[in-house]
Amino acid sequence: MAEELYPIIIQVTVPLPTHMIFKAITEPAGLTGWLCESAEVDPRVGGQCRLRFGGETPFESVGAVTHFTPDVDFGFDWRAPASFAALMNEPTPRTRVYFRLADSPEGIDITLEHIGWGSGDDWEAARSWHFHLWDERLQQLKAHLIKTAYG
């Protein structure tokens, strides 16, 4: 079997309380402020995480919650948009998204890790698209949190 591609790992640091950040990455009202148009989350391992995206590439990602530790981590199976569905979603989601929160001198580090990438040109294209999605959305998360806290 060919080697997997490296996971996507992106980190931002936000100078706000952990509980405020955790709400933004796990609760529907928080997720719709920076990530997607609508969200449903059953906050327990095995619960469902449904994220609906609009824009140029509308899609819905539905998967099971894989990690849920209040104020520490949150993870879920990922379903990609239609252009990558045959590669990434069939027969079941092949990648997972994981958020981890940790104290740092500047505030709280929010680390996103998207794992499970295969190898080859198609996987490279999918990984590149997702890297740009997550990079943009984590910057939006930081801006959303600061605006929410400070106006």
The whole-number pLDDT of residue 5 equals 83
CATH number, domain containing residue 125: 3.30.530.20
pLDDT class for 54, splitting at 50, 70, 90?
very high
DSSP string, 134-146: HHHHHHHHHHHHH
- Nearest-angstrom CA–CA distance, 135 and 138: 5
Say what the pLDDT of residue 2 is. Answer: 53
The stretch 129-140 carries a mean pLDDT of 97
What pLDDT, in 10s, does the model give residues 16-49?
A: 999 999 999 999 999 999 999 999 999 999 999 9
The CA angle 131-133-136, to the nearest 5 degrees, is 105
Q: Is residue 133 part of a domain?
A: yes
What's the mean pLDDT when you consider all of the chain?
95
Residue 132 lies in a domain: yes
C-alpha distances in Å from residue 99, one per residue of 21, 70, 82, 102, 115: 11, 11, 24, 10, 11
Q: Please, which pLDDT band fits residue 151 given cuts at 50, 70 and 90?
A: confident
Has residue 3 been placed in a domain?
no
The verdict on residue 139 lying in a domain is: yes
Quick check: is 140 in a domain? Answer: yes
Asked, for residue 2, whether it belongs to a domain, the answer is no
Omega into 91 within 30° of 0, i.e. cis? yes
Indicate the number of domains in the chain: 1
Show the domain range for 99.
Answer: 8-150
1 part of a folded domain: no
CA-to-CA separations, 102 to 17, 23, 137, 148, 149, in angstroms, rounded:
11, 15, 19, 20, 19
